[in-house]
Amino acid sequence: MTTNPNTAPTSGGTAVGTGGSGPTSVRTGPRPAVLRRGLAVGAVVAAFVLVFLLLAVFTAGTSGGEPFDVRSARPHGTRALAEILRARGVSVTPAETVPVGRRSAGTVVVFQPGRLDRDTLAGLLGQVWQGSDVVLVGADDAVLDVLDVGVRAADENPGGGTVPRCALSEATVAGTVSLTGSLAYTRAAGGDRSGMRAEFCYGEPSTAARLAVLTPGGAAAGGATPGAAAGGGRLVLIGSARFLTNGDLDDGGGAALALGLLARHDTLAWVTPTAASHDAVDTRGPFELLPGGVRWGVLQLAVVVVLLGLWRGRRLGPPVAEPLAVVVRAAESVEGHGRLYAAARARDRSADVLRAGLRVRLAERVGLPLRTGPTGAPEPDPVALVAAVARQSGRSPSDIGSLLYGSGMLAPIDARPGPFGRAVDQARSRGLPPEPPAWPRPSAQPAGPGANPTRSTGLDRAADQPDRALMALARALDDLDRQVGGR
Amino acid sequence: MAISGRAVALALCGVAFVLVSPAPGLTLVLVNLLIVVLVAADVAFAGAVRTMSFSRSGPTATRLGQPVPLVLAVTNNGTRTVRAQVRDAWSPSAGAQPRVHRVVVPAGERRFLETMLTPTRRGDRTPFRITVRTLGPLGLAGRQRRHHSPWRLRVLPPFTSRRALPAALARLREVEGEVAIRGAGAGSEFDSLREYVIGDDVRLIDWRTTARRGAVVVRAFRPERDRRVVCVLDTGRTSAGRVGDTPRLDHALDAALLLTAVALRAGDRVSLIAHDSVPRATLPGSHDQAYLARVSDVMAGLEPAIVEADHSGIVTSVLRATSRRSLVVLFTELAPAVIEEGLLPALGTLTARHTVIVAALRDPRLDELAAGRDSVRAVHTAAAAEQTRMRRRELAETLRQRGVEVVDAPPASYAATVTDTYLTLKSLGRL
């Protein structure tokens, strides 16, 4: 049916070959520059979108469940520990806030305690005194200062000490546990003011311990070990909780230590504060949260900036000076004069000059000779000029005379439309010669307040009126100019 | 020594390295040491700039507005290939393009760079300096040095009124009687005898020849030839005023060029004087056709000076320049200070011996301002403009009363009007 091979529906790789070789209207040669550039920009944008989508897909795939989530079975989750605890009869309750108002003693694990506010931390300490176990994971100096239990974060890294090296019964039972992380604890310099006895385990217990267990009243109890106070509450500080996760629970004695620390009561509240409260104790700024490499990176950026300055600052020869000729606009002085007149409000002078200029123009137009007038400037004969202009414009000689040879400006009048323009318009519309206008109009016009609604009594308006009169005069002169045949 | 954008890019890559490195401080030091070493190596291996040499070739004169290609020859006398950025710097009004050339010159070879100059101002243009930067093999850094290669490009006045030349020459032929029109040529100089045709003025019949020949013969006249025209350019402060987009002086130069072209064709001798407080340029009269080029050349260097023109000095210069009766065309401005205080007292000696044309340029902006009615200030300005126009008219009238021809024309028709006035005077035999 179709005879043209180019329009025939083809399939597969041959379609390109047959379509390209046929005599179709395919344009050959390079594409126009605009199209090329557009294509390039489009390709770059498309590539960006593609990369972003791919990244989004892959990162979304790996981000299932929060770390230390008791419901998460991923390596960084803690579901295994939770199941073991439940099997032992401990009810594990995940929460985002610290439970308050509990009667019976239980265990509370708080991750990132820096996100809690002062009162909540004090409440937790109170629970310890009431017999509860409180485990703070990753409590730093900000938290410890609030708790004020005679423990501070150690300055030095304890290294990979995995042996308990302390008398805590849970630790000795658990044995080797790989506790990691950068946080470690040591005894505060101020001594023990809170009446709690502290036991440090793992790492270097004398200078930097991974695990600190504080027992209320321990100081009073003398040499009794913390483990002996089985019924009382404890405050446990752990630098890192890696050994609790699904992935690391079976590593060494991690599970034993976890059970020893967390399974002393029937209830376990698993608190992971999701967002810091507005008065959280740990209020580190964004710069303190940056990893250490960033500061060096910023330093390198400074180097980049210096190099950038060197690169752009070293120019390829200096700018070349142009020996400029003095060039001013020829009409500059005229405009300056105009501004001077306006600044000095020399309205009378402006009005006189406008009149004189029109007189000369009209005289040339009606063919009158110019003589040297009294001021030295060439002037036409006034009588002849008024007569000739009145004849040509069809207006009354007195009107023309007052317009061309009047002195001063128009009396205060409305700006729009000028009295002469209005009179002329009326005369034109009626086909009559215009009436002589009220010129010079008496300046003290006893007009009622309602007679002229546009006039206000403001001071600026009072200063404005002579200006408007000047403009009205200029328009009236223009009208006359047109009537006698100009432009 | 100069670094390139690549060195900066390298340092920027270093930022990424520092960020991901486990030992950021050490990485930072290493990265920057590497950059320093690479830059130093690049500078060491860059082609030598000192041993390069430059020479120019191309035209030495152009009319304003016409682009000129100038060739800069770059010779590499060193032992290494030179990858160079060459900036051939001219003053901005020379309009040199491109700003920077990129060129690769192997050792011992020569390459040619073309700089296109599009001058935007009259006068002499000279190159400022040649700055050369050679980059090393990595393109990170290189050496930079300056060179000089002198040249001078003379930018002549544009002579935009050249398009009025054919019309002016046509009128000249008409005046000279070379066109077959009734009335033949006008003028006062006896040309030839010819047979009477109906319509000739009977007063032109040469009765003596008629008696000898037996046919009625009339005398034919033609305009005077070999007259003298002196173009006087006032380069004082009023000539600096810009009318439209060009100073008054440039309009005057244009008009003087057209007048010179027509007068040379008419067989007159033209001389040129430029004068403000002191004589700026004097070109004695000539009627050879190449004179126009010389006039252009002299005009190229004229600039307005911010001094009051000394009109008595101008008159002295004119009187010294020509002893025979001449047409003196004075290109100046109808400003009260110029005319009343300068020209009028000195005019008497000039008009006594010569025919004088005062050619002034009328600023169209003045008419625009005089029509302003938009605001009170515009009306005041209109009054000021009106005042100026009246003063000009008055001055023109005063000059006319002293027997001076006054040309007061807007820029569009300035040159043509001046030349027309010349032709009219010529046809009237007043030269």
Comparing CA positions, the residue from B281, B341, B354 lying closest to residue B315 is B354
pLDDT in tens, B7-64: 999 999 998 888 888 888 898 999 999 999 999 999 999 989 999 999 999 999 999 8
Scanning every residue of chain A, which has its alpha carbon at the shortest distance from the alpha carbon of B134?
A: A316
Highest mean pLDDT among A145-149, B19-23, B295-299, B306-310: B295-299
What is residue B328's predicted lDDT score, i.e. its pLDDT? 93
What stretch of H or E contains A57?
A: helix A33-62
What is residue A160's predicted lDDT score, i.e. its pLDDT? 64
Scanning every residue of chain A, which has its alpha carbon at the shortest distance from the alpha carbon of B302?
A: A325
Highest CATH level, class, for A79-283: alpha beta
Residue A64, burial from CB neighbour count under 10 angstroms (0-12, 13-18, 19+): exposed
Pairwise CA distance, residues A174 & A99, whole Å? 29
Pick from B19, B378, B388: CB nearest A297: B19
Which residues does chain B have within 8 Å of residue A482's beta carbon, measured at their own beta carbons?
none
Indicate yes or no: CB of B381 within 8 angstroms of CB of A337.
yes
Interface confidence (ipTM) of the complex: 0.74
What is residue B197's predicted lDDT score, i.e. its pLDDT? 83
Fold held by B228-427: Rossmann fold (3.40.50)
Pick from B306, B376, B389: CB nearest A471: B376
Which residues does chain A have within 8 Å of residue B12's beta carbon, measured at their own beta carbons?
304
Indicate yes or no: CB of A351 within 8 angstroms of CB of B5.
no
The answer to whether the Cα torsion of A34, A36, A39, A40 is positive or negative is negative
Q: What share of chain B in percent tops pLDDT 70?
A: 96
Comparing CA positions, the residue from A95, A121, A109, A152 lying closest to residue A261 is A109
Indicate yes or no: CB of B15 within 8 angstroms of CB of A300.
yes
Where are the extended beta strands (E) located within B91-240?
96-97, 100-105, 110-117, 123-125, 127-135, 141-147, 153-156, 189-195, 217-222, 228-234
> For residue B384, what are its two tokens?
């000021």
Indicate yes or no: CB of A320 within 8 angstroms of CB of B90.
yes
Pairwise CA distance, residues B156 & B119, whole Å? 10
Indicate yes or no: CB of A292 within 8 angstroms of CB of B89.
no
Residues 6+ apart with CB under 8 A from A9: A2
Which residues does chain B have within 8 Å of residue A337's beta carbon, measured at their own beta carbons?
381, 384, 387-388
What is residue A223's predicted lDDT score, i.e. its pLDDT? 42
The answer to whether the Cα torsion of A198, A202, A204, A207 is positive or negative is negative
Indicate yes or no: CB of B7 within 8 angstroms of CB of A475.
no
> For residue A144, what are its two tokens?
């410890």
Strands A267-271 and A91-95, how do they pair?
A: parallel
- The per-residue DSSP string of A129-186 comes to HTT-EEEEES--HHHHHHH-SSEEE-SS---S--S--S--HHHHHH------SS--EE
Comparing CA positions, the residue from B291, B296, B395 lying closest to residue B62 is B296
Chain-centroid distance, C-alpha B402: 32
* Chain B nearest CA to A352, separation (Å): 8
Which residues does chain A have within 8 Å of residue B240's beta carbon, measured at their own beta carbons?
325-328
Whether B255 shows a pLDDT value over 90: the answer reads yes
Whether B273 shows a pLDDT value over 90: the answer reads yes
Residue spans in chain B of domains classed CATH 3.40.50.410: 228-427
What is residue B38's predicted lDDT score, i.e. its pLDDT? 95
Indicate yes or no: CB of A296 within 8 angstroms of CB of B377.
no
Comparing CA positions, the residue from A181, A185, A109 lying closest to residue A141 is A185
Domain ranges of chain A: 79-283, 343-440+458-483
Comparing CA positions, the residue from B197, B177, B193 lying closest to residue B185 is B177
Pairwise CA distance, residues A71 & A90, whole Å? 15
Pairwise CA distance, residues A64 & A56, whole Å? 13
Q: In what order do the strands lie in the sheet with B241-243?
A: A328-329, B241-243, B246-247
Contact B268, B227 (CB under 8 A): yes
Radius of gyration of the CA atoms of chain B, in A: 33
Highest mean pLDDT among A248-262, A270-284, B219-233, B385-399: B385-399
Q: What is the dihedral of CA A197, A203, A204, A206, to 10 degrees?
A: -10
Which residues does chain A have within 8 Å of residue B31's beta carbon, measured at their own beta carbons?
300
* Chain B nearest CA to A366, separation (Å): 17
Scanning every residue of chain A, which has its alpha carbon at the shortest distance from the alpha carbon of B87?
A: A316
Which residues does chain B have within 8 Å of residue A378's beta carbon, measured at their own beta carbons?
393-394, 397
- pLDDT means over runs of 10, chain A (487 residues): 41 39 50 84 93 81 67 84 89 84 80 85 86 87 84 76 81 82 79 74 81 73 43 82 84 85 87 76 71 84 93 90 80 90 88 89 86 74 88 85 75 43 46 43 40 42 73 87 76
Which residues does chain B have within 8 Å of residue A335's beta carbon, measured at their own beta carbons?
369, 381, 384
What is residue A440's predicted lDDT score, i.e. its pLDDT? 42
Contact A219, A48 (CB under 8 A): no
Where are the extended beta strands (E) located within B118-216?
123-125, 127-135, 141-147, 153-156, 189-195
Indicate yes or no: CB of B121 within 8 angstroms of CB of A325.
yes
How crowded is residue A346: how many other Cβ atoms within 10 Å of its Cβ? Answer: 18
Comparing CA positions, the residue from A216, A219, A209, A166 lying closest to residue A186 is A209
What is residue A471's predicted lDDT score, i.e. its pLDDT? 86
Pick from A294, A316, A339: CB nearest B377: A339
Cα angle, residue B101 at apex, residues B99 and B107 outer, rounded to 5°: 155
The average pLDDT across B180-198 equals 65
Highest CATH level, class, for B1-156: mainly beta
Going by pLDDT thresholds of 50, 70 and 90, the confidence category of residue B234 is very high
Q: In degrees rounded to 5, what are phi and psi of residue A149?
A: -110, 20
- The per-residue DSSP string of A241-255 comes to -GGGSTTTTTSTTHH
Pick from A311, A334, A350: CB nearest B379: A350
Pick from A307, A326, A354: CB nearest B7: A307
Which residues does chain A have within 8 Å of residue B24's beta carbon, measured at their own beta carbons?
292-293, 295-297
Collapsing DSSP to helix, strand or coil, B163 comes out as helix
Pairwise CA distance, residues A254 & A87, whole Å? 17
Question: Which residue out of B234, B380, B406 would a mutagenesis test of the A interface target, given it has the greatest number of A Cβ atoms within 10 Å?
Answer: B380
